[in-house]
Amino acid sequence: MSRLSLLALLLCAGGLAAAEPLLAMTVKDMQGAAGNEGKAVDGTFRTLPVDGNDVHRLKIPLPAGAPDLGEKIRCVVEVEAMQATTVALMLVVQKPEGGWAGNLQGEQKVAAGKQTLTWKFADLKPANGQPVAAGRPGTVILMSWSPASELRLTRLAIGAEAK
């Protein structure tokens, strides 16, 4: 089986159809991303505590290839939470012509343990109160709070919602 076929099979099993525009990142990709914030340990990419806050966070700059917001983005993460917590996914969106367009954020309460979390476009709201109309995600930030819990990320996929 070719690497592309194997990737398509894995992504279908993970919640995103293979025919959709897609960006998938493994722990190795996350660790190698310039400007990342997190720690690769035992095959996972882990959040770090934020000084002075009850928050754990990791930041992953995305390579070219993420779908733009007009494609109704859907994000899927495979993560393990060390305790029940609130997990937030933030997309830092870049304008098509360059520069910051705004942030979109969604939150989910999760139990301790391994799980696959999905955020659809409708789940993501402007984090700064201003609408984000166009652009592509340039960075993904994953956070936990209430209480802060170490998160162990093994996979991140961004694609378009199924039509």
Residues 136-150 have pLDDT tens digits of 999 999 999 989 899
pLDDT tens-digit map of 65-84: 788 877 788 999 999 999 99
**Per-domain residue ranges for the chain?**
3-160
pLDDT tens-digit map of 9-19: 333 344 544 43
Nearest-angstrom CA–CA distance, 33 and 39: 12
Neighbouring residues of 4: CB distance < 8 A, sequence distance ≥ 6:
none
Nearest-angstrom CA–CA distance, 121 and 65: 17
CATH class of this structure's domain 3-160: mainly beta
Q: Which of 163, 153, 162 is nearest to 24 (CA)?
A: 153
Neighbouring residues of 110: CB distance < 8 A, sequence distance ≥ 6:
81, 84, 85, 86, 87, 117
- Whole-structure pTM value: 0.83
